[in-house]
Amino acid sequence: MKYQSQRIALVYFAVAMGLFAIQVLGGLLAGWIYVAPNTLSELLPFNIVRMLHTNSLIVWLITGFFGAAYFLIPEEAEREIYSEKIAYLQLAILVIGTLGVVVTYVFNLFEGHWLLGKEGREFIEQPKWVKAGIVVAALLFLYNVTMTVLQGKKTAITNILLLGLWGLALLFLFSFYNPENLALDKMFWWYIVHLWVEGVWELIMASILAYLMLKLTGVDREVVEKWLYVIVAAALFSGILGTGHHYYWIGTPGYWQWIGSIFSSLEVIPFFAMMAFAFVMVWKGRRDHPNKAALLWSLGCATLAFFGAGVWGFLHTLHGVNYYTHGTQITAAHGHLAFFGAYVALNLAIFSYAMPILRNRDPYNQVLNMASFWMMTGGMAFMTFVLTFAGTIQTHLQRVLGDYYMDVQDQLAVFYWMRFGSGVFVVLGALVFIYAMWVPRKEVISHDATQAAE
Amino acid sequence: MSDASLIDELPGELLMWVLIVSELLVFGAGLIAFMGVRLTDPAGFAEAQAHLYRTGAALNTAVLVTSGFLAAQALHWRRAARRGAARLALIGAAALGVLFLVIKGAEYAGKAAQGISYETHPFFMFYYLLTGFHAAHVAAGAGILLLVAWRDDPRNIEAGAQFWHMVDLVWIMLFPVIYLLG
């Protein structure tokens, strides 16, 4: 660790990994409810389990991004973080807010209260006081990192990262706007989650990936930066108007069908470019970096993001196709692989790279870490295929033949069982990963490049 | 690596080429979608197309191509160190861009007076989508031309002219397909 304040990242990573464990366990429970629908139906209904699964995902990914920023900005800016205290205060606010959401939601406290009660809007159901807390925490964070960068060296990586993080925080402000009209509500609702994952998060992803490539492959910064700018341009060009692919059937004018179809089709390009970038850098790189696990996660991230977000996204983005597939298991298949590839794997890549440095050790538990990569990736890929088949059958039975929703669900039972099985594998992989990160033992991979790994 | 040297040989900014290729993909996809939907209703599309004002569009083609010529001349003159002439050419090019928008605006006003909107027929939805999106680029492009007339580094002028030629090129694709194709 070159800069003392980088250690802030360790606490953020710890919180992120804790939430990661909760998220996958929640997912496993939700997957079980699919095959045994009465499980906990009174105590913890499916909608709440699903909320916990998706929201803990978003929260831990963002916590990981914050941690990544605190880790890499000192190295890029070549100075300590402006204030460590602010960083810890920010995390405390986020943790209290997260607990507040969970408690409020699970016990449905203060129902209907404007400040303390849940809002009931999917993904942004947080009570107003939590939303305000999130904004305060975001402002603290932006102030802290922006001051650091302004006083230090400015690089393309930190510029793009800050642009992405500022965008993330500003777009969240739309969660305070709740129009009466349901179509307008949904229209602005997508300004948050779509413009996050298919807009500014891609900037965060590209900049963290660029940082990892710079460190792991030793390619010239100039080359990395050129790729970074092209990727960011392609991401924003396609992603902003690509929001239109959520406006097909919510009551917005018909021209959105064409705007959404055309622009969101182009969203494949930045993901393809990120994959090409990662592989070209590794081929061109001369450095044989000892942290093989971080490299595996980086390449895996770019590849799985291309397939999950790019290919599986394109699969149902054209409005003629989406007319049939909308809201079926096809969507679930895409959502799972896209989030895992683009953002989960990205976080796990930066954790894998940063943790040994934060703990002042050589890379450790690499074989275990890489095993967890293949367990999670194998599990997620299997789940994606299973849900894609389930979604294809569901689309045909329900949307083409017109069978009843619940009759069709019965037909899909076998797929839901297989999905549960793959989920078990993913959870085990996640636990192995967390173990590999936090319980270092002896070195398994030799530093001597002439010796094969044990 | 060979592809890196190819990129280095590109005239002008790499990012401008990325933007140009992206724009051409969008307008190309829009025109393909237009042609595809047209196949489902040739008679309705022909009927709708008869409401368009072709002379105005032809005039606009001349306006835009002339403007493109001026932008190209501006770069030529700037490189020959004739800064004043280059600036005048850029301002002229931007003015012709504004003239294009005025003619276009008259065209839209005429449609509105006839009660034609994007909901009248799929033809008009594509008409408004494609020409409207293009007009937005003309407005942006005119602003860029004025910007590079002010900050008149040859590389800036080159980037502005690149963008402007793309706007030209897109119009030359839109005009025959939307207005003329029978």
- A220 to chain B, any CB pair closer than 8 A? The answer is no
Nearest-Cα residue of chain B relative to residue A319? B33
- B10 to chain A, any CB pair closer than 8 A? The answer is no
Q: How many beta-carbon contacts under 8 Å exist across A and B?
A: 43
Give DSSP secondary structure letters for A331-367. Answer: HHHHHHHHIIIIIIHHHHHHHHHHHHHHTT----SHH
d(CA A128, CA A112): 11
Cα–Cα separations (whole angstroms), residue A440 to A285, A294, A344: 28, 15, 22
Q: How far is B25 from chain A (nearest CA, A)?
A: 8
- A238 to chain B, any CB pair closer than 8 A? The answer is yes
d(CA A429, CA A317): 31
> Which residue did the predictor score with more confidence, B5 or A148?
A148
- A320 to chain B, any CB pair closer than 8 A? The answer is no
A39 class by beta-carbon count within 10 Å (0-12 exposed, 13-18 middle, 19+ buried):
middle
Q: Residue holding tokens 């239109």?
A: A244
Indicate the pLDDT class of residue B9, thresholds 50, 70 and 90.
confident
Q: Which of A223, A230, A262 sits opposite B29 (nearest CB)?
A: A262
d(CA A434, CA B3): 41
Measured between beta carbons, which residues in chain A are less than 8 angstroms from residue B119?
A: 253-254
- A254 to chain B, any CB pair closer than 8 A? The answer is yes
Query: pLDDT at position A122, please?
Result: 85
Structural domain includes residue B71: yes
- A229 to chain B, any CB pair closer than 8 A? The answer is yes
The answer for residues whose C-beta is within 8 angstroms of residue B164's C-beta and 6 or more apart is B67, B68, B71, B93, B97, B141, B144, B145
Structural domain includes residue B73: yes
Q: How far is B29 from chain A (nearest CA, A)?
A: 7
Cβ pair B15:A230 closer than 8 A: yes
Cβ pair A253:B118 closer than 8 A: yes
Structural domain includes residue B167: yes
Q: Which amino acid is at A399?
A: R
**Are A242 and A308 within 8 A, CB to CB?**
no
Measured between beta carbons, which residues in chain A are less than 8 angstroms from residue B25?
A: 266
d(CA A89, CA B29): 49
Residue B144: which CATH number?
Answer: 1.20.120.80
- B1 to chain A, any CB pair closer than 8 A? The answer is yes
Q: How far is B75 from chain A (nearest CA, A)?
A: 25
Q: How far is A255 from chain B (nearest CA, A)?
A: 7
Indicate the pLDDT class of residue B1, thresholds 50, 70 and 90.
very low
Measured between beta carbons, which residues in chain B are less than 8 angstroms from residue A253?
A: 118-119
Structure tokens at A171: 């777009």
Query: pLDDT at position B4, please?
Result: 60
Measured between beta carbons, which residues in chain A are less than 8 angstroms from residue B19?
A: 233, 237
Cβ pair A259:B129 closer than 8 A: yes
Chain CA centroid to CA A187, Å: 22
Output the CA torsion A205→A206→A208→A211 (10° steps): 170
Q: How far is B134 from chain A (nearest CA, A)?
A: 14
Measured between beta carbons, which residues in chain A are less than 8 angstroms from residue B15?
A: 229-230, 233
- Residue A17, sorted as left (phi over 0), alpha (psi -120 to 50) or beta, turns out to be alpha
Measured between beta carbons, which residues in chain A are less than 8 angstroms from residue B129?
A: 255, 258-259
Output the CA torsion A354→A358→A364→A370 (10° steps): -20
B56 class by beta-carbon count within 10 Å (0-12 exposed, 13-18 middle, 19+ buried):
middle
Q: Which of B1, B4, B22 sits opposite A266 (nearest CB)?
A: B22
Which residues of chain A register pLDDT less than 70? Answer: 442-454
**Are B135 and B107 within 8 A, CB to CB?**
no
Measured between beta carbons, which residues in chain A are less than 8 angstroms from residue B132?
A: none
Q: Which of A223, A255, A262 sits opposite B26 (nearest CB)?
A: A262
Q: Which amino acid is at A39?
A: T
Q: How far is A206 from chain B (nearest CA, A)?
A: 16
Structural domain includes residue B88: yes
> Which residue did the predictor score with more confidence, B182 or A385?
A385
The answer for residues whose C-beta is within 8 angstroms of residue A135's C-beta and 6 or more apart is A169, A172, A173
Cβ pair A258:B33 closer than 8 A: yes
Cα–Cα separations (whole angstroms), residue A313 to A22, A128, A335, A380, A384: 26, 32, 8, 16, 12
Q: What is the ipTM of this complex?
A: 0.94
Structural domain includes residue B109: yes
Q: Which amino acid is at B114?
A: Q
First-to-last CA distance in chain B?
A: 48
Q: What are phi and psi of A289, to 5 degrees?
A: -70, 135
Query: pLDDT at position A120, please?
Result: 81
Interface of B with A in 27-46 (CB under 8 A): 29-30, 33
The answer for residues whose C-beta is within 8 angstroms of residue A389's C-beta and 6 or more apart is A415
Rg (chain A; Cα; Å): 22
Query: pLDDT at position A64, please?
Result: 98
Count of C-beta atoms within a 10 Å radius of residue A404: 10
Q: What is the pLDDT of residues B120-141, one digit of tens each?
A: 999 999 999 999 999 999 999 9
Cβ pair B1:A284 closer than 8 A: yes
Nearest-Cα residue of chain B relative to residue A228? B15
Q: What are phi and psi of A111, to 5 degrees?
A: -60, 130
Cα–Cα separations (whole angstroms), residue B53 to A321, B42, B46: 35, 19, 14
Structural domain includes residue B17: no
Q: Which of B140, B161, B14, B9 has its CA nearest to residue B75? A: B161
Cβ pair B29:A284 closer than 8 A: no
**Are A192 and A167 within 8 A, CB to CB?**
no
Quote the number of domains for chain B. Answer: 1
Query: pLDDT at position A1, please?
Result: 86
Per-position b or e across A374-402, b if 16+ CB within 10 A of its CB? ebbbebbbbbbbbbbbbbebbbebbbeee
Domain that holds residue B149: 54-180
Mutate to test the interface with A, among B125, B133, B137 (most CBs of A within 10 A): B125
Q: What is the pLDDT of residues A32-74, one digit of tens each?
A: 999 999 999 999 999 999 999 999 999 999 999 999 999 999 9
d(CA B25, CA A414): 42
Measured between beta carbons, which residues in chain B are less than 8 angstroms from residue A269?
A: 22
- A374 to chain B, any CB pair closer than 8 A? The answer is no
Cβ pair B29:A238 closer than 8 A: no
Give me the residue spans of the domains in chain A.
1-153
Structural domain includes residue B41: no
d(CA A422, CA A420): 5
Structural domain includes residue B119: yes
Cβ pair B30:A234 closer than 8 A: no
Count of C-beta atoms within a 10 Å radius of residue B115: 7
Q: How far is B34 from chain A (nearest CA, A)?
A: 10
